[in-house]
């Protein structure tokens, strides 16, 4: 029973991880860069949702839309003025540019908001629904629902709109996309904006059950990278499966390990997958 409850909790957690990880994988798939500062955009999303709640009285689930918009705008600028300039550069330069961004964002947050932990109060925070013998915590369930909806919206945008097709075309073959008159520069900006925006949205919707702090992003880094590597870097479907898998692994390991050591299990999974199947457990099925 305990096992089943942990499994359900894991799936609910994992749905949110999936949305956060889609952002990371989208950036990699289209722009071909591993963004080490992705977790810091999640942190930005948490703070935007927090202030939207405190100053405007907005529920974090609605505030997450603002988180998306702010991070999207930030992402477009970052892509345009920073990432774009190291696209052809060696891995060292790419790695240290996004690591530099991580340092800047984390410390900017520390300067602006201080080091204290900030949390919101919502009417549903303590609520849980019982379904048979299982308990579904309301904040988990609501976050899962919003995550699913936003994942679906992204899928629709990528599948059905012209810009979505341009993004997919660029991911598959940038040269051919350019020949068809697609501005790959624009597509890169769009993809980076969407990617970090989605992760920031994830930051907003977890606010009802987690606290915001300047260093919260680094807690999510191992988790996010594990999800993405599990599913194959660059694969959106893979990130969904990987995200849910990470949620379940984390939740099941909480049955017999202290909270902080759950990352140890994730790390073991991460290293094993990287070592034996760096292309991901799923075969990469386009994006």
Partner 1 sequence: MTRQTLKWLLPLLLALAVPWAFEDQGYGIRVLTLVLLFAAMGQAWNIVGGLANQISLGHAAFFGLGAYTSTLLLMRWGISPWIGMIAAMGVAAVAGGLLSLPTMRLRGHYFALATLAFGEVMRAIANTWASVTGGPVGISVPFSEGSLALMQFKSSMPYYYLMLGAVVVTSLIFWLISRSRLGYRLRAVKANPQAAEVIGVNTALTRIQASVISAALMGACGTLYAQFIFFFDPDTVFSLVGISVKVALVCIIGGVGTVAGPLLGALVMIPLEELFNEWLSGRTAGASQLAYGVILIAIILIEPRGLSVLWFRVRDMLKGNHA
Residues that bind partner 1 (CB under 8 A): 34, 36, 82, 85-86, 88-97, 99-104, 106-111, 114-115, 214, 218, 221-222, 225-226, 229, 258, 260-261, 263-264, 267, 270-272, 274-275, 278
Closer to partner 1 by Cβ: residue 128 or 257: 257
Closer to partner 1 by Cβ: residue 8 or 20: 20
For 181: left if phi > 0, alpha if psi spans -120 to 50, otherwise beta; the answer is: left
Contact 45, 205 (CB under 8 A): no
Cα 211 to chain centroid distance, Å, stands at 17
Closer to partner 1 by Cβ: residue 150 or 221: 221
Contact 98, 36 (CB under 8 A): yes
At its nearest, how many Å lie between partner 1 and the CB of residue 287? 18
> CA torsion sign, 236 to 101 to 41 to 268?
positive
At its nearest, how many Å lie between partner 1 and the CB of residue 262? 9
Closer to partner 1 by Cβ: residue 274 or 281: 274
Contact 18, 239 (CB under 8 A): yes
At its nearest, how many Å lie between partner 1 and the CB of residue 196? 16
At its nearest, how many Å lie between partner 1 and the CB of residue 23? 16
**Which residues share a beta bridge with 212?**
118
């Amino acid at each position: 029973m305990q096992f089943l409850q942990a499994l359900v909790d894991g799936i609910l957690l994992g749905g949110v991880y999936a949305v956060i990880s889609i952002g990371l994988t989208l950036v990699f798939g289209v722009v071909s860069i591993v963004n080490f500062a992705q977790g810091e955009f999640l942190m930005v999303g948490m703070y935007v949702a927090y202030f939207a709640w405190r100053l405007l009285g907005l529920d974090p689930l609605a505030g997450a839309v603002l988180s998306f918009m702010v991070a999207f705008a930030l992402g477009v600028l970052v892509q345009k003025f920073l990432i774009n300039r190291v696209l052809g550069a060696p891995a060292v330069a790419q790695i240290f540019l996004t690591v530099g961004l991580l340092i800047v964002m984390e410390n900017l947050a520390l300067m602006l908001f201080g080091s204290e932990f900030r949390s919101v109060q919502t009417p549903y925070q303590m609520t849980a629904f019982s379904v048979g013998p299982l308990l579904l915590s309301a904040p988990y369930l609501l976050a899962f629902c919003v995550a699913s909806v936003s994942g679906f919206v992204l899928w629709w945008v990528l599948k059905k709109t012209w810009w979505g097709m341009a993004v997919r075309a660029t991911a598959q073959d940038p040269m051919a996309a350019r020949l068809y008159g697609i501005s790959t520069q624009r597509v890169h900006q769009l993809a980076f904006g969407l990617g970090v925006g989605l992760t920031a949205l994830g930051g907003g919707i977890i606010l009802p059950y987690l606290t915001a702090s300047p260093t919260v992003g680094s807690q999510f880094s191992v988790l996010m990278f594990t999800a993405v590597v599990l599913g194959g870097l660059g694969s959106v479907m893979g990130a969904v499966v990987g995200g849910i898998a990470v949620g379940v692994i984390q939740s099941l390991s909480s049955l017999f390990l202290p909270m902080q050591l759950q990352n140890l299990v994730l790390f073991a999974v991460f290293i094993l997958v990287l070592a034996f199947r760096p292309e991901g457990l799923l075969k990469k099925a386009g994006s």
